[in-house]
């Protein structure tokens, strides 16, 4: 995870970076995407370490702190990659501060369980979305994105805690199901806002000489997959989607 200073890598491009990087539109899209994911990771770090305060036990608190540290490690990897491709990592993240903060402000968990559901459902949705987009990228960039999406065992922890809470008090299930739907709605609305505003990301999805395009039908199928995966996650938590 060494980081070359922004801009210093340009001489290395032709030698080390895939041919796709000779297309400035492609580079801009990759920088945008890595910037978005990186900011998402550090913002997940913040959210999880904040939610850790609500943990009912020190053991649960440590579990959330572990999840937060994992997100931060992913952030470091993405930041290093941005440096490697000659971008200023923090400039690349700057435009995504607004949408992520808006999402978190609108979905501030009222208690420990809402925080857990948000971590599980939100991270799952983000991971699905980035994984879909990664399919349009060069293999190095794809690899680093997929690595940053790895589940560090948090899913089992969240599923266990949420299911136990519902078992103890079934009314909790109804409240958390509503919460899960709200999370999905807010996430989609922010994602749409970002997609509409970012020309480079849009251009990426419309393909290139050597890259497939994402047409309207494909976008439709993408949304279907995202929605199905969301429902499957809600079901795993014992919640109706």
Structural tokens at position 34: 């890595």
The neighbour count for residue 117, using CB atoms within 10 Å, is 25
* Minimum CB distance to a second copy smaller for 67 or for 165: 67
Contact residue for a second copy among 13, 23, 50, 231 (CB under 8 A):
50
Spatial separation of the C-alpha atoms in residues 26 and 135, rounded to whole Å: 14
| 13, 27, 55, 208, 234 from 18: Cα distances, Å | 8, 11, 45, 15, 39
147-169 burial, b at 16+ Cβ within 10 Å, e below that, comes to: ebbeeeebbebbbebbeebbeee
Please report whether residue 53 would count as binding a second copy according to CB under 8 A: yes
Determine the straight-line distance between the first and last CA of the chain, rounded to whole angstroms. 39
Please report whether residue 93 would count as binding a second copy according to CB under 8 A: yes
- The number of angstroms, rounded, from the C-alpha of 139 to the middle of its chain's C-alpha atoms is 19
Contact residue for a second copy among 5, 59, 171, 209 (CB under 8 A):
59
Please report whether residue 90 would count as binding a second copy according to CB under 8 A: yes
In the complex, the smallest distance separating the C-beta of residue 42 from a second copy, rounded to whole angstroms, is 6
Of residues 16 through 45, those in contact with a second copy by CB under 8 A are 39, 42, 45
Spatial separation of the C-alpha atoms in residues 234 and 113, rounded to whole Å: 13
Residues 121, 183 contacting (CB under 8 angstroms): yes
Closest CA to 203 of 20, 22, 14, 28: 28
Using CB under 8 A, which of the segments 26-34, 91-99, 128-136, 158-166 binds a second copy? Answer: 91-99
Of residues 156 through 215, those in contact with a second copy by CB under 8 A are none
In the complex, the smallest distance separating the C-beta of residue 241 from a second copy, rounded to whole angstroms, is 32
In the complex, the smallest distance separating the C-beta of residue 137 from a second copy, rounded to whole angstroms, is 24
Structural tokens at position 162: 């949420």
* Minimum CB distance to a second copy smaller for 35 or for 180: 35
Q: What percent of the chain is helix, strand and coil (3-state, nearest 5)?
A: 80, 0, 20
Q: What is the contact mask toward a second copy in residues 117 to 156, using x (rule: CB under 8 A)?
A: ----------------------------------------
In the complex, the smallest distance separating the C-beta of residue 34 from a second copy, rounded to whole angstroms, is 14
Contact residue for a second copy among 73, 80, 159, 191 (CB under 8 A):
73
Which residues in this chain contact a second copy in the complex, by CB under 8 A?
39, 42, 45-46, 49-50, 52-53, 57-59, 61-62, 65-66, 68-69, 72-73, 75-76, 79, 90, 93-94, 97
């Amino acid at each position: 995870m060494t980081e070359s200073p922004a801009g210093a890598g340009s001489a290395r491009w032709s030698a080390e970076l895939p041919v796709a990087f000779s297309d400035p539109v492609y580079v801009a899209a990759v920088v945008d995407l890595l910037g978005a994911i990186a900011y998402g990771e550090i913002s997940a770090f913040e959210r999880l370490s904040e939610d850790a305060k609500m943990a009912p036990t020190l053991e649960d608190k440590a579990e959330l702190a572990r999840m937060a540290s994992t997100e931060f490690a992913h952030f470091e990897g993405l930041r290093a990659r941005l440096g490697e491709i000659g971008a200023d990592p923090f400039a690349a993240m700057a435009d995504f501060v607004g949408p992520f903060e808006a999402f978190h402000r609108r979905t501030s968990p009222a208690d420990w369980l809402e925080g857990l559901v948000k971590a599980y459902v939100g991270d799952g949705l983000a991971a699905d979305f980035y994984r879909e987009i990664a399919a349009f990228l060069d293999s190095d960039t794809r690899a680093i994105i997929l690595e940053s999406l790895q589940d560090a065992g948090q899913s089992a922890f969240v599923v266990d805690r949420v299911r136990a809470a519902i078992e103890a008090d079934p009314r909790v299930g109804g409240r958390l199901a509503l919460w899960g739907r709200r999370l999905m709605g807010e996430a989609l609305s922010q994602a749409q806002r970002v997609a509409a505003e970012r020309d480079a990301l849009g251009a990426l999805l419309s393909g290139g000489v050597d890259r497939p395009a994402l047409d309207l039908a494909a976008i439709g199928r993408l949304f279907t997959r995202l929605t199905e995966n969301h429902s499957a996650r809600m079901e795993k938590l014992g919640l109706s989607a």
